[in-house]
């Protein structure tokens, strides 16, 4: 089977090296992209949007480069997409972090954790993720009842449509840890920092993006 070509968006505020190394480790042919023209010339099978830091900077970078439209069109066409951390938060309509308008691909908002004092913010470190869409391709080979992944965030997504939720995590209350709709996936946790289970996430995404992969119905 031919290795899928995965385009990874460099928006200037992402841990690009660790994401690309993880994708390469599972057999993907990784191309770094900065513009819509870059995406077009790679002939990419899948698109990844990683990000760390402030959502305002992430969204501003995507809009300035023209990649905001690329991401919207890509997801609308149900082409394989993976957002990581800020790459998940950017997909929603609004964030309390700086009162930022997101890309508005999915209805919902991003809110700051409101937890009792014993729960430190940011939520940082390993925590158990429970998959609720048990037949999702992104969860293949992972335990539905719980796998540990690595988080670093102060804000979390609140989808308006509960059917969008792929996985949940409990940190002083349940929050959305991942979403899925068709071949669009996004995680609040960092698969590239989550050892073997994180590599399984990237392996599963690469399998979805593979040229010979069946399109889900």
What pLDDT does residue 216 have?
Answer: 59
Q: 54 by DSSP, 3-state: which?
A: coil
Across the chain, what does the average pLDDT equal?
94
Verdict on whether the full-model pTM lies above 0.85: yes
- The CATH code that applies to domain 5-209 is 3.40.50.880
Helix (H) or strand (E) holding 148: strand 147-153
For the chain, percent of residues with pLDDT exceeding 70 = 97
Sheet (strand 5-9) strand order: 29-33, 5-9, 46-49, 81-84, 184-187, 174-181, 165-170, 123-131, 147-153
Nearest to 103 by CA among 157, 42, 34: 157
| Residue 54: predicted pLDDT | 85
Q: How far apart are CA 185 and CA 166, in angstroms?
A: 8
Encode pLDDT of 112-158 as tens digits. Answer: 999 999 999 999 999 999 999 989 999 999 988 899 999 999 999 99
Cα–Cα distance between 1 and 147 in angstroms, integer?
A: 29
Residues tagged active-site: 85, 190, 192
Q: Which residue do the tokens 């690329």 mark?
A: 70
Tokens 């409990």 locate to 170
Give the span between the Cα atoms of 146 and 208, in whole angstroms.
22
Across 95-109, b (16+ Cβ under 10 Å) vs e yields bebeebebbebbebb
């Amino acid at each position: 089977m031919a290795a899928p070509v995965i385009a990874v968006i460099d928006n200037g505020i992402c841990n690009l090296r660790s994401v690309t190394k993880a994708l390469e480790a599972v057999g993907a042919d990784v191309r770094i992209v900065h513009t819509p023209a870059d995406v077009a010339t790679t002939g990419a099978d899948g698109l990844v949007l990683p990000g760390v830091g402030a959502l305002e900077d992430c969204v501003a970078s995507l809009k300035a480069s023209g990649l905001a439209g690329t991401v919207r069109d890509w997801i609308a066409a149900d082409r394989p997409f993976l957002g990581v951390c800020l790459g998940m938060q950017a997909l929603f309509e609004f964030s309390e972090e700086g009162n930022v308008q997101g890309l508005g691909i999915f209805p919902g908002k991003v809110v700051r954790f409101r937890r009792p004092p014993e729960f430190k913010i940011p939520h940082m470190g390993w925590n158990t993720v429970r998959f609720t869409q048990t037949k999702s391709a992104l969860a293949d080979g992972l335990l539905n009842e719980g796998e540990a992944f690595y988080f670093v965030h102060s804000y979390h997504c609140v989808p308006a449509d509960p059917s969008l939720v792929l996985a949940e995590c409990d940190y002083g209350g349940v929050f959305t840890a991942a979403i899925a709709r068709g071949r669009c996936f996004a995680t609040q946790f960092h698969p590239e920092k989550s050892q073997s289970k994180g590599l399984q996430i990237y392996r599963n995404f690469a399998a979805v993006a593979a040229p010979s992969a069946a399109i889900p119905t």
